Amino acid sequence: MLVLAAAGLAWLDIGVRRQFEGTRWAIPAHVYTRPLELYAGLRLGQHDFVEMLTRLGYRRVAVPDEQGSFRAGEAQVELMTRANSYWDGHERSRRLRVDFHGGRVRRITDTALGTALPIVRVEARLIGSISPLHHEDRSLVRLEDVPQSLLTTLMLVEDRNFMRHIGVDPRGLARAVWTNLRAGGVVQGGSTITQQLVKNFYLSAERTFQRKLKEMVMAVLLELHYEKHEILQAYLNEVFLGQAGNRAIHGFGLASRFYFDRPLRELTLSETALLVGLVQAPSAYDPRRHPERALARRNVVLTLLERHGQLRPGELASLQSAPLGISTTATLATTRYPAFVDYVRRQLRRDYRDDDLRSQGLAIHTTLDPQVQDAAEAALASTLSELDQARDLAQGTLEGAVVVVRPNNGEVLAMVGGRQAGFAGFNRALDAVRPIGSLVKPAVYAAALSEPSHYTLATLLDDGPLRVEQRGSPVWTPRNYDGKFHGEVDALTALARSYNVATARLGLEVGMTNVVGVMRRMGIERELVPYPALLLGAADLAPVEVAQMYQTLASGGFRAPLRGILSVLSAAQTPLARYALSVDQVIDPAPMYLLNFALQEVVRSGTASALGRSLSPALNVAGKTGTTDGYRDSWFAGYTGNYLAVVWVGRDDNGSTGLSGASGAMRVWHALMRRLDLEPLAQPRPEDIVTVVVDLPSGKLADDGCDGARPLPFMRGSAPREQARCATLAARTPPAPAQRRRPSRLWLDERNVR
Amino acid sequence: MSNALVAVAWRGAPSVERWLAAAAVAAATLLGAGCASTPPAQVVERSATAQSAETAERRPAPEPEAIERTPLSPEDAAVGEALPAGASSAGPPVVVALVETAEREAAAGALENAAAALERALAIDPQNPSLWYRLGELRLDQGQPEQAIQMASKAATLAGDDAALRRSSWLLIAHGHRALGDEASAQDALRRADAP
C-alpha cells in the first residue's frame, strides 16, 4: 500500500514537473513593425496620424498624461508616447505636441521640455510572435512586467496566503467558504493559485473528490520544486480567461490584448479588476456576451479592493461607474500579417540556430510598414473582387501575391500572401513558384546593353519568324502575343511592347550564359536551366525572388539583399544583431541607365501605357508586364523613386485566368500605388551618357524631316553616325541595320539558330 | 496609471491587513529582483553576437537629449516642409539632425550606431549622395573595404553635378581597393577621381 502510494506520488511528481517545464521556457520572440519616424516635413495628415495611434492601441483622452494616450485638436495632436528600445538606443516616453499643416507634419514639440524635435520614433507595433516550441502565441508575460496592481488584486481575490502557503491553504479555503456564505454567492475561490495552475495543466473539468485530492498533492509537489515567483509567473500565463472562437485565451497578457487591445501595463484599475474577476468563470462573465454580469463581477472585485484599503476615499464610486472599456476592434494581432511574419520566421531560421531562437522573449524589429501593408492588402482584395465580377469567374478562384520593397536598401515594406491576407495559409509571396514570362526580358536587354559596341536602344532587331532546332527536343518557334511578326524593330520598342521573337533572337545572340549571368547578379539563386525558352520567361520564380531581381534595377544596378529584419534585441532590450544595409553594384551605371529608360518607355508607350495615362508622367514610373501561356500567370513589376512592387495574379490550380499582365497584376499594382505617396524615379545620368536625336524606324541619326525623331540616351561613342534622310530617301530605301550586329553566339554547340 | 494609483493607496492606508502587507512586500521583492536584471535604460550593452568587434564593447546609446540640443525654430521647420527630400546634399533638417547623431556616435567610437543613424537618414532621403559617402567612410573605418567601395560607388553615381563629392567618392573607392590589396583598381579609381 505504501509502495503503491509512493509510486503514485513519484508518477504525479514526474507529470507535474514535465508540465511545468514545458510551459516555463516558451516565451516567444515578439515581432514588431518598423517604428513611425515622425519628423517635420513628413507627409502625414492629422487624420492619418490619429488613425495610426488608434491602431497602436493609443487611447483618446482629455489629458494625455499616460503612456499610450492622445488628444486630437485642430491640426494638432498631443500625445504621450510609450518608451521603446531600438538597436541603437532607447526612446523614452515623451509628451509631444505634433502640429500639422497642408497634409504634412509641421512641427514636433516635446512639451515637457518646451523644445522642438527634429525627429522622433513614435512606436513599433507588435504584429506577432514566433515561437520555436509552440505554435500558439500566448503573449506571455514576465513577472517583472506585470503591474503590481494586478498581482495585488489577484492575490486578494484568489489566494490571500499565496506567498506563505505550501500549495494548499486550509485557512484560505475556510475563509472563502465563510465569505461566500455571507455574500450569498461565490465571491472568492477556494483553490490556491498553485492548485489552479495544476488544474489548468490537466484540462479536464471533472469535479470529483479523487481529482481534488490529486490536485492538492500535485500542488504541494510543485511548491517543493519551484519558487513562488516561478509558480506565479506560470499561473499568470496559464490561467484560462476566455474563448475566442475555437481558441482558448490563456494568460493575462493575451487576455489584455483580447479584451482591451492594449498591453497589460496600460490597463486602468477597473480594467485590471475585470480581468481578475474573470478568473472565476470566464464564460459566465464574458464581457462581450454578458456585459451586465461582467460589470457586476468587476464591481464586486473593486469593492473588495476598497474594503482592504486599496483605494483612496471616494475612488470606488468613480471606478465603479467607469464603462467596461472592452475594445470592439481587438483581434488577436498575431495573425494580422501572417505572410510577412512567415517571411521573418524563415529569415531567422536561415540566419540563426534553433537554440539561439529559443532564448526567451527576443524582440525582432522588422522592416514592415503597416501603412504600405494595409494598402497592399486592400489593393489586392478589391482588385481581385472587381476582376471576379468583370470576368464572370467563379468568385474567389483568382489569387494573388504582392511584395513591396524600398528600392535603395532592399527593405521589404509589405508582403501579401493571398487575397485573404489576414488568414495564414499558403504564402504565395514566397511559395507560388511560377513561370515569370516577360518579366525576364530586362535581364536579356541588360546583357545586350552591357556591350555598347554591339547594342544600343536604337539597334534594329529582327522580329521575323524564328526556328530553333534542339537535338532531342521539339523545334522551338517563339511567337508574339499579338500573333504577328514585326520585321525589323528597334530595341527600345521591342522591349517596351514586349516582342517575344526579337527578344529571343537577341538573347540567343548575346548568349544564354550571359543572360543567366545577369539574372544571377540580379540576385536569383534558384537553379536556372539555360534553354532558349528561358529568354521568354520559362523560369519558375516566387514573387519575392522577382522582387529581388527588380530591386537591383530599381536602385540603378545596386543589388541590396532583401531584408525583413532590421535588428534583434534580447528580452532585456540588449541589442544582439543588426541587419545592416549592404549593396553590390552588379550592373554598370550606363547600361543600367539605358535599361531604365526602356522600362520607363514600357509605361510611356508600351504594354503598361494604361498606367502612363493614369499616373502622373512626372513620376517617371518604370515597369514590366508579364503574361504566361494560356493566361495562367499575370505579373507586373514596377517602381517609382520610393516604392518597388511586384504583383502576381493567378490561380492555385494553375488554370487560366484570362488575364494578361496589364489587365490583372498591373491593376493591382495601380490600386496599390494610388494609395501611397509617390516620389518620382530620378535616374542620375552617368557622365558617359549622351543624348542623340534619332529616327527610330531606321535606327539612324534624325534630321529635320524625320517625323518619328526623338532624343535617346546612348553610351558615348555608341550612337549611330549615319544620317537618316527621312523626308527624301527613307521611303524608297529599305532600312539597313544601323550597326554591325555581333555574329550569333551559339548557345550550345549542337544547336542551330535559323 | 493603475500602478502608481495602488502605490499611493498603499501609502495612505494604514489599516492594511498583515497578510496583504506580506504579499505586497513579497510582490515588491519579486518586482525588484526583476528590475535589477534589467540594464539602466540609457546604457546599452552588446552581446558578442553583434556584428563586429567594436560592437562588443559597452557604450552609451544615443542620448535622446542630445537631439534636443539642436532645437529647430518654427522657421526651420517651415523650411523642412518646403524642401523635397534629396533636394540638396545637406538635406532637410531631419537628415541634418540624423547626420549629427551619426557624427556624435562616430566620435564616441560607436561606429555601428553611427551607421544605423545614417541608414535611418537614407530611408528618408535615399538619393542623398553624402549619406552614402559617409556610410562608406564608416565601413572603411570598420575594416569593411568591400562595402566602403560599394557605398562610395553609390555616392558617385548619385553625385550628379557635385564634382567635389564625386571626386571624394572615387578617392574613397581607391582607398577601399588599396585596403584590399588591389593596387591596379586603386590606380584606376584615382584616375577617375582626377578626371574632369
Average pLDDT, chain A: 87
d(CA A561, CA A578): 14
Enumerate the residues of chain A whose CB falls inside 8 A of the CB of residue B93. Answer: 39-41, 118
Which of B8, B11, B18, B19 to substitute to test the interface with A, most A CBs within 10 Å? B19
Of B17 and A325, the one with more pLDDT:
A325
Which of A59, A76, A144 to substitute to test the interface with B, most B CBs within 10 Å? A144
Lowest mean pLDDT among A49-53, A291-295, A472-476, B1-5: B1-5
Count the alpha carbons within 13 Å of A742 in the hemisphere toward its beta carbon: 18
Which of B72, B165, B173, B185 to substitute to test the interface with A, most A CBs within 10 Å? B72
Q: Which of A439, A477, A478 is nearest to A633 (CA)?
A: A439
- Is residue B84 a contact partner of residue A546, using CB atoms and an 8 Å limit? no
- What DSSP letter does each residue of A55-79 carry, written as one string? HTTPEE-SS--STTEEEEETTEEEE
Whether A147 and chain B come into contact, CB under 8 Å, resolves to yes
Residue A690: exposure state from Cβ atoms within 10 A (0-12, 13-18, ≥19):
middle
Lowest mean pLDDT among A187-196, A630-639, B73-82: B73-82
pTM above 0.80, yes or no: no
Q: What is the ipTM of this complex?
A: 0.75
> Which residues lie closer than 8 Å to A77 by C-beta, 6 or more apart?
A46, A49, A50, A53, A70, A71, A97, A98, A100
- Position A601 scores a pLDDT of 97
CB contact under 8 A, A106 and B77: yes
Enumerate the residues of chain B whose CB falls inside 8 A of the CB of residue A576. Answer: 47, 49-50
Which among B38, B94, B123 is the nearest to A40, CB-wise?
Answer: B94
Residue A270 is a catalytic residue: no
d(CA A189, CA A579): 50
d(CA A123, CA A105): 16
Which among A37, A142, A151 is the nearest to B124, CB-wise?
Answer: A37
Question: Model confidence at B59, in pLDDT bands (50, 70, 90)?
Answer: very low
Whether A591 and chain B come into contact, CB under 8 Å, resolves to no
Among chain A residues, CA nearest to B79: A41
CB atoms within 10 A of CB A529: 11
Enumerate the residues of chain A whose CB falls inside 8 A of the CB of residue B31. Answer: 143-144, 148
pLDDT tens for residues B11-51?
Answer: 233 333 333 333 333 343 333 333 333 332 222 223 333 33
Whether A593 and chain B come into contact, CB under 8 Å, resolves to no
Above 90 in pLDDT, residue A643?
Answer: yes
Give the Cα-Cα-Cα angle A23, A25, A31 (nearest 5 degrees). 105
Question: What mean pLDDT do residues A718-736 have?
Answer: 66
Above 70 in pLDDT, residue A350?
Answer: yes
CB contact under 8 A, B93 and A91: no
Question: What mean pLDDT do residues A449-456 have?
Answer: 96
CB pairs under 8 A between A and B: 244
| Catalytic site residue from A438, A634, A663, A718 | A438
Question: What mean pLDDT do residues A398-415 have?
Answer: 97
What is each CA distance from A702 to A150, A723, A724, A737, in whole angstroms? 81, 6, 5, 15
Helix H segments across A624-703?
A: 665-674
- Position A191 scores a pLDDT of 86
CB contact under 8 A, B122 and A581: yes
Question: What mean pLDDT do residues A578-591 have?
Answer: 95
Average pLDDT, chain B: 66
pLDDT tens for residues B80-91?
Answer: 233 233 333 467
pLDDT tens for residues B87-143?
Answer: 334 678 999 999 999 999 999 999 999 999 999 999 999 999 999 999 999 999 999
Residue A614 is a catalytic residue: no
Question: Model confidence at A357, in pLDDT bands (50, 70, 90)?
Answer: low
Sheet with A644-650, side-by-side order of all strands: A412-416, A399-405, A644-650, A633-639, A622-627
